[in-house]
Amino acid sequence: MTLVALIAYAVHIWYHGPTANPLPTKIQMTLDKEYDYIIVGAGSAGCVLANRLSEDEHKSILLLESGPDDAGYSDIHVPAQVHSLFNNPEVDWMYKTTPQAQACLSMENKQCVWPRGKVLGGSSSLNAMVYIRGSPYDFDRWEDMGAKGWSYKDVLPYFKKSELNDNPSFAAGEDHGANGPLQVSDAIHVDLGSNYIKAGKELGFDVGDVNSGRQESTIMRTQLTVGRDGVPQYSHGVPETRTASPKPARCYNDPRH
């Protein structure tokens, strides 16, 4: 896999009728002449889109990814190893910021490195797995600028629908979901974290839930998209195969799933 090569990782998912083929989901490396949907980029958004569209077993979907399969990179599957993936041209686009006037002062040419995933799973294969929603202020501002249906009030039901929060008090509250596919758990307790929270309190921050809509004024113990059993909840990997019954494709390839 060279740096510049555009690797068309073509995943053709289609479902046959239940009796036509015992393996309703198929992965194929050759291309058909046409598809109902073509998705460019198998990152967070592309994988979720492929998953949702493939719930309709009669639709064919082509998911294109320019980076390699994530299966060859064991560090992707160990969240604590994430830093080893930055600056690896096989899985990182190796972007840099433009030279900065007031920031990146210790960096060569005042340019910070700006990692973005170039691998199945996209940036979700390189990210820190912190469960943090966008700021309500940003969503509302986008709507004000014309993106109808993107206010925080509009997107909140989808955050909740996708979430399986295993913190009982969050799961029982108004702001979180408890039945979605994405597991969210409290990070493991460390003393340093408690000290940060104590310091934040002293500075006047509320200790609460940053995902409850008061992001800017609140601090909390981080929640992660990692299951309680420690299994990372990636949106990457090749779609699931060999299901006994028609089932939406998921961009998962972690052997622990």
Ligand X SMILES: Cc1cc2nc3c(=O)[nH]c(=O)nc-3n(C[C@H](O)[C@H](O)[C@H](O)COP(=O)(O)OP(=O)(O)OC[C@H]3O[C@@H](n4cnc5c(N)ncnc54)[C@H](O)[C@@H]3O)c2cc1C
Q: What is the DSSP letter of 201?
A: H
**Cβ-proximal residue to ligand X, closest one:** 43
Tell me which residue of 136, 138, 141, 137 sits closest to 159, measured CA to CA.
Answer: 136
Residue number with CB closer to ligand X (77 or 118)? 118
Query: How are beta strands 11-13 and 182-186 bridged, if at all?
Result: unpaired
CA dihedral 204, 205, 208, 214 (to 10 degrees): 130
Closest contact distance (angstroms) between CB of 65 and ligand X is: 5
Closest contact distance (angstroms) between CB of 44 and ligand X is: 3
Residue number with CB closer to ligand X (66 or 167)? 66
Tell me which residue of 57, 11, 73, 2 sits closest to 38, measured CA to CA.
Answer: 11
Closest contact distance (angstroms) between CB of 81 and ligand X is: 13
Residue number with CB closer to ligand X (24 or 49)? 49
Closest contact distance (angstroms) between CB of 122 and ligand X is: 2
Sign of the dihedral through C-alpha 41, 43, 49, 54: positive
Residue number with CB closer to ligand X (15 or 152)? 152
- Site residues for ligand X per CB under 6 A: 40-46, 64-67, 115-118, 122-124, 126-130, 132
